[in-house]
Amino acid sequence: MASGVRPRVKAPRSAEAGEVVTIKTLISHKMESGQRKDSDGNVIPRSIIHRFTCDFNGTNVIDVKMEPAISTNPYFEFEAKIPEAGDMVFTWHDDDGSVYTETKSVAMA
């Protein structure tokens, strides 16, 4: 697991049925592109988060494939329609095999 990785999510605690809410996510990660060299000229191996997903009660909301050009601490902001109360599960997949997850519950207003 890369060091200093911490997922953060900002989502509303409650919503009306069918309401479209804005969700913000950020994960602190160095996103080493694999293109850079260290001071000795050796290539620093690629280490990025290559996939990000969000599921609501088992239904996929967003599934993002990420490439090395994405900057450090990737931030995603997107909208989702909340049909019912439930759990939103956010998942980040690291190149090194680590999977980071975060869950946010949304209640009906």
Partner 1 sequence: MKFNAMTAMAAVLFSVPGLVSADPDDDTLVVNGEIEMTTKAEPPAHLDGVLPTIMSGWHFRADETQALQMDDFDNSGMIFVDEGRAQWNKVEGSEGKSCATCHEDPSSMKGVRATYPKWDETAGEVQTVAMQVNDCRENNMGADPYGYTSGQMANMEALIAVQSRGMPVDVAIDGPARDMWEAGKELYYTRTGQLELSCANCHEDNYGNMIRADHLSQGQINGFPTYRLKNAKLNTVHARFKGCVRDTRAETFKPGSDDFVALELYVASRGNGLSVEGPSVRN
Span of 4-12, 32-40, 53-61, 80-88 interacting with partner 1 by CB under 8 A = 4-12
Report if residue 57 touches partner 1, rule: CB under 8 A. no
State the nearest-atom distance from the C-beta of 10 to partner 1, in Å: 5
Closest residue by Cα to residue 86 from 21, 6, 25: 21
In angstroms, the CA 107 to CA 66 distance is: 31
Tokens of 7: 């997922």
Report if residue 8 touches partner 1, rule: CB under 8 A. yes
The type of residue at 30 is: K
Q: Which residue has the tokens 């911490």?
A: 6
In angstroms, the CA 55 to CA 74 distance is: 18
Q: Which of 2, 21, 26, 62 binds partner 1 (CB under 8 A)?
A: 26
Q: Which of 2, 28, 32, 46 binds partner 1 (CB under 8 A)?
A: 28
69-98 residues in contact with partner 1 (CB under 8 A) are: 71-73, 75
Report if residue 59 touches partner 1, rule: CB under 8 A. no
Closest residue by Cα to residue 48 from 26, 75, 24, 66: 66
Kindly list the residues in this chain that would bind partner 1 in the complex (CB under 8 A). Answer: 4, 6, 8, 10, 24, 26, 28, 71-73, 75
